[in-house]
Chains A and B, each alone.
Chain A
Amino acid sequence: MKQFSQVLLVLLSLQLAHSMPAQSDTKPGASESSSAGSTASKLDPKALDILKRMADYLAAAPVFSYRSESNYDVVQPSGSKIEFGASRRTLVARPRHLRSDIQRRDGLRGQIVFDGSTIWAYEPDENVFAQASQPGGLDESLLFAVTELHIKTPLIDMLSAEFYSRLTDKLIGAHDLGEKVVEGVVCDHLLMRNDYADIQLWISSGDEPLLQRVVITYREEEGQPQYRARLLEWDLSPEYKKDSIRFEPPEGAERIRFYVQDADQGLHQEDES
């Protein structure tokens, strides 16, 4: 009996040892929160100034383009985090137009176009497309695309004319972490904390205050996953004609529907009608 309880004890300790990494996944976050928590309620005016300068600069641009290399963690049921990522080339023409070409790491390509009246989603590898009416300008359309059509469009807040107010919504901390160099670009490094996430921003110093890098830590989510992006090749006067942001379904392309999650009715069609 004594031997049996010894064996049980060993097994129990092994089980505990196994469960430790899962716990430690959350603990660092907790300590991070508490260490940053000492300054959590501080809103450093200098950090807010840098942020506002960048947000206003981008919001005032009628047309701009950039490339992003982004990756994000997905917390698996086992507690492991797996990284996914994509490259995007995005062209924005206010007030209603957007085009984003996406290349996911698994090789799949995609295209999202807001042509002023219609949202198009096209997948060239399958030669299929879906479409839905734009409910309004760029801001409304982006929100609709993300929340209703479930189209993944990272950093949509950045594309909004309300960038600053969205960034500062429910802000509980704003800190200037000093100058840093991101791949040769001198940047102001900021830490913003809202009620949900910690947001680190690297904004180029100088005459063109543009976002160069962003890391968002979802502090309130299990496993504290991160979204990370490097923003490159900013162009605030790209060659652009309105006709370049339109979509013509290629010959033979099959039209499919957007899948809209609904517990009671399942599938809805988003049409122009």
Chain B
Amino acid sequence: MIGKSSKLAMALLALSLGSLLVVEFAEARRGGGMRGGGMRAMRGGPAASGSFNRSIARPSRSPGFDRPARQPGYSRPTRDLSSTTIDRDRVNERVDNRQDYREQRRDRVDDYYDDRRDWYEDRWRTGAYLSIAAWNRMSCPYTTTIVDNITYYDCYGVRYERVYRGTEITYIIVN
């Protein structure tokens, strides 16, 4: 005889298993553009380079991405307080405030670079371009416009350009 709690546990187990499978499937569908199959997959990465060296397998990212390095030899100027007679508590408080301010500023800078990194990675991974297969799947009734010998494809109000990207043709969004 199965108890009520056991039934509940089994139901939850089944639900959990099901949700895990759904997550796996959804994750597998993210990214890339495999031709012909039902599942899409990312197709880039370091192993695609077939190179022995890191510098080629993982070419450096674009300028502006890395956190700017401070100039060598740079040090923050400090004030000499030894010859000044002031209230020690007030000095400590001011130092604490300044440290807080620096930490907040550092946090803001970190956030900025994190946001920029996210933006960069999102742009790289999703949305900004389409594989030929994805383009074809859209069955888009596009029109073409030629500007400076470049052909642009207008589809549902979005302008694309066909480009050569890593040994394959890709449609990138240009507006």
Chain A residues with CB under 8 Å of chain B are 3, 6-7, 10-11, 14-15, 18, 70, 72-78, 80, 82, 84, 102, 104, 106-108, 110, 112, 121, 123, 126, 128-130, 143, 146-147, 149-152, 154-157, 166-167, 169-170, 192, 194-197, 199, 214, 216, 218, 220-221, 225-227, 229, 254-259, 261-264, 266-267
Contact = CB atoms under 8 A, between A and B. Distances in A.
Given A7-B8, A196-B53, A196-B57, A82 B41 contact: yes
Interface string B23-49: 010011011001110000111111111
Main secondary structure of the interface of B (DSSP, over half): mixed
Contacts of B48: 72, 74, 84, 152, 154, 227
B162 interface: yes
A6 B59 CA distance: 50
Interface of B: 5, 8-9, 12-13, 16-17, 20, 24, 27-28, 30-31, 34-36, 41-57, 59, 61-65, 116, 120, 123-124, 129, 132, 149-151, 161-170, 172, 174
Contacts of B129: 259
A151 B167 contact: yes
Contacts of A197: 52, 54, 57
Contacts, number: 198
A194 B53 contact: yes
B54 A229 contact: no
A255 B16 CA distance: 52
A191 to B, nearest CB: 13
A220 B170 CA distance: 29
Contacts of B165: 150, 258-259
Given A106-B34, A254-B162, A6 B167 contact: no
Closest 9 A/B residue pairs (Cβ): A154-B50, A225-B47, A78-B27, A130-B164, A259-B163, A259-B165, A72-B47, A3-B5, A106-B35
Contacts of B63: 262-264
A227 B132 contact: no
B67 to A, nearest CB: 13
Contacts of B50: 70, 72, 154-156, 214, 216, 227, 229
Given A74-B41, A80-B28, A152 B53 contact: no
Contacts of A166: 52-53
Nearest to B124: A261
Nearest to B48: A72
A170 B55 CA distance: 12
A123 B24 contact: no
Contacts of A169: 52-53
